[in-house]
Amino acid sequence: MNAPEKLPLFTLSAWSAEQLANVEQALSCWVVSPIDTPAPAGLGDAMRYAVLDGGKRLRPLLVMAACEASNGNAHAALRAACAVELIHAYSLVHDDMPCMDNDVLRRGKPTVHVKFGQAQALLAGDALQALAFEFLTPDDGSVEVATQARLCRMLAQAAGFQGMAGGQAIDLASVGKPLSSEQLHAMHRLKTGALLQASVMMGAACGAIPLAAQTALRDYGATVGLAFQVVDDILDVTADSATLGKTAGKDAAQDKPTFVSLMGLQASKNYAQQLLAQALASLEASGLQNTHALQALADMLVNRHH
Amino acid sequence: MNAPEKLPLFTLSAWSAEQLANVEQALSCWVVSPIDTPAPAGLGDAMRYAVLDGGKRLRPLLVMAACEASNGNAHAALRAACAVELIHAYSLVHDDMPCMDNDVLRRGKPTVHVKFGQAQALLAGDALQALAFEFLTPDDGSVEVATQARLCRMLAQAAGFQGMAGGQAIDLASVGKPLSSEQLHAMHRLKTGALLQASVMMGAACGAIPLAAQTALRDYGATVGLAFQVVDDILDVTADSATLGKTAGKDAAQDKPTFVSLMGLQASKNYAQQLLAQALASLEASGLQNTHALQALADMLVNRHH
């Protein structure tokens, strides 16, 4: 009896390793390459420090996975993946500054302002945001101009006052105040949800999928974005700083409202699993074939330990 | 004998008034309109405070003038004009912060961080940068996607590490150090020159002019950008704070290298006039017909008193 023909198996670890190799190489080449385009007066060093050699790269993986599901332009998606990561990286640099969260440890290393000074950290964050839009608008014909314009629009909206920056403002204003479940959801939908959702939608925008599939991916992105924050809140109380690579227990110490403080630990864990099921249902509803990576990412994201 | 037929006369004051009315109205409508798109938790107020009701709007005027000379899409130019102004406004908000220039007075009013706190100022600046790219990428068909992508590319490059942010980094690193004339030029080419030049080039990108004309306008933009800084340095020693609407004499007090400290006052004044002549020669060389506004702006910029 013959052995059955081997099917190509999908594993998240193998898929991620391949994607991350491309993303890391692209970031390393494109973020102010010290050879081709030296950035002046230490600015390039601060920018590279903020971006390279660290981070889970969750957002780039979501972009690449959504592009794959949409059978899109992989080069456009790689640019989008890096651009989203730059926005994420700049937001961490600015968030960590003394006038915001005043954090000294990030990804197990001193934060940018600790290492380079506050003024350089401020500038590096600003320059990273601009660089994200440079990544999206190459002048070499590799990405259609309509896609470039669309990606810029999506990223700008997700990063700005109706997205990440708006969420930060609510977060700032809510320290020490009781928030309703609705207010907490609204804050996180902007603060972390908008950019995670945009990652999915930008990946999809590198292809051409039906409107119904776009809507399903938008739902997936929103659900995954919310689940990410619920799990973050859980890990803030259950993991230690060494595992997280950042200061654990900070939210409680700063009296910040979290899903755990609002719902309790066990209910938060149940909620995260519920959201996972919901995200997978959205993928099912999309009608897209190649959603293995998006499925596995949602699972990893909810069941991660750091 | 009949009176000669009246020719339409160009005056900068009438032209500027018309352009500024449009720019102010657009900024007021589009910068986080409190009615249509409320920004959360005071962020919208800080953004509007940073942008509205102040500023010479030099960059928007350059965009509109270059669009006019290029016979371009005036709506695209209006969006570009506002986007450039948002980048300028965000840079002022961040520059004024305690970790940078620590300035408390801007356009005769308390700076954003004095009025709203440092965290909100940081976020408002970040959100203004993102909003600039939203302005450039409307989803309503009013601006060709190729133009959108091109404008985003130009603005991102001018704002980032190869432009404004890079120049700030050099500026930071140069306080109290002697700079050569070449180094001082390099710093200002990035710090203020890049965005002023981009204003001209973005206006031109709203039309379709020959390559030679583009090159001539690029030269005009570079020269005008440099002249602007030379005149700024002159005014820092010759004007008072009330006239400037910001703290006068700061450069000397902080021991910052300036054109005046390097060349002396009279030589700086001569240099500014030389640059004006050079800018006008570039316009002549462009072969474009309708450069009245660009001519008059260069003249105003060099011969201004505040």
- B131 contact residues in A (CB cutoff 8 A): 156, 160-161
- From the list B139, B163, B167, the residue facing A153 with the nearest CB is B139
ipTM strictly over 0.85?
yes
- From the list A120, A127, A167, the residue facing B160 with the nearest CB is A127
A2 inside domain: no
- From the list B133, B159, B174, the residue facing A156 with the nearest CB is B133
Q: Do B130 and A40 touch (CB under 8 A)?
A: no
Q: Of B197, B278, B130, whose CA–CA distance to A153 is shortest? A: B130
User: For residue B43, what are the domain limits?
Assistant: 13-303
- Give how far B158 is from chain A: nearest CA, Å: 9
Q: What is the pTM of this model?
A: 0.93
Closest residue in A to B100 (Cα) is A119
B6 inside domain: no
- Give how far B180 is from chain A: nearest CA, Å: 16
- Could you read off the pLDDT of B37-84 as tens digits, one per residue? 566 768 999 999 999 977 889 999 999 999 999 999 999 999 999 999
- B165 contact residues in A (CB cutoff 8 A): 43, 123, 126-127, 130
Q: Do A40 and B100 touch (CB under 8 A)?
A: no
- B42 contact residues in A (CB cutoff 8 A): 169, 173
Residue whose structure tokens are 């960590």: A96
| Rounded mean pLDDT, A247-272 | 83
Mean pLDDT of chain A: 91
- A148 contact residues in B (CB cutoff 8 A): 145, 148-149, 152
Q: Do A131 and B156 touch (CB under 8 A)?
A: yes
> Taking each helix axis from N to C terminus, what angle separates B58-69 and B211-238, rounded to the nearest 10 degrees?
160
Query: Given this model, what pLDDT does residue A155 score?
Result: 98
Helix, strand, coil percentages for chain A (3-state, nearest 5): 70, 0, 30
Cβ-Cβ contacts under 8 Å between A and B: the total is: 188
CA distance B164 to B172: 12
| Rounded mean pLDDT, B254-261 | 83
- Could you read off the pLDDT of B147-158 as tens digits, one per residue? 999 999 999 999
* Inter-residue contact A120 to B169 (CB < 8 Å): yes
- Give how far B303 is from chain A: nearest CA, Å: 32
- From the list A43, A47, A94, the residue facing B122 with the nearest CB is A94
What tokens appear for B121 in the block?
A: 């100022």
Of residues A253 and A232, the one with the higher pLDDT is A232
* β B105-106/A105-106 pair status: unpaired
Interface test with A, best of B37, B47, B123 (most A CBs within 10 A): B123
Closest residue in A to B47 (Cα) is A161
- B31 contact residues in A (CB cutoff 8 A): none
Q: Do B41 and A169 touch (CB under 8 A)?
A: yes
A269 inside domain: yes
- From the list A131, A159, A160, the residue facing B161 with the nearest CB is A131
- A47 contact residues in B (CB cutoff 8 A): 161
Closest residue in B to A101 (Cα) is B119
B51 inside domain: yes
What tokens appear for B144 in the block?
A: 């060709």
B38 inside domain: yes
How many residues in chain B?
306
β-partners of residue A109 are A106
- Number of structural domains (chain A) is 1
DSSP letter for A97, please. S
* β B105-106/A109-110 pair status: unpaired
Closest residue in B to A166 (Cα) is B40
- Could you read off the pLDDT of B167-194 as tens digits, one per residue? 999 988 887 788 889 989 999 999 999 9
Residue B147, domain CATH: 1.10.600.10
Residue A127 has pLDDT above 60, yes or no: yes
Residue whose structure tokens are 């371009």: B72
Amino acid at A179: L
Of residues B4 and B16, the one with the higher pLDDT is B16
CA distance A108 to A59: 20
Q: Do B125 and A129 touch (CB under 8 A)?
A: no
Residue A34 has pLDDT above 70, yes or no: no
Q: What pLDDT band is residue A94 in, cutting at 50, 70 and 90?
A: very high
B232 inside domain: yes
CA distance B101 to B92: 10
* Inter-residue contact A68 to A293 (CB < 8 Å): yes
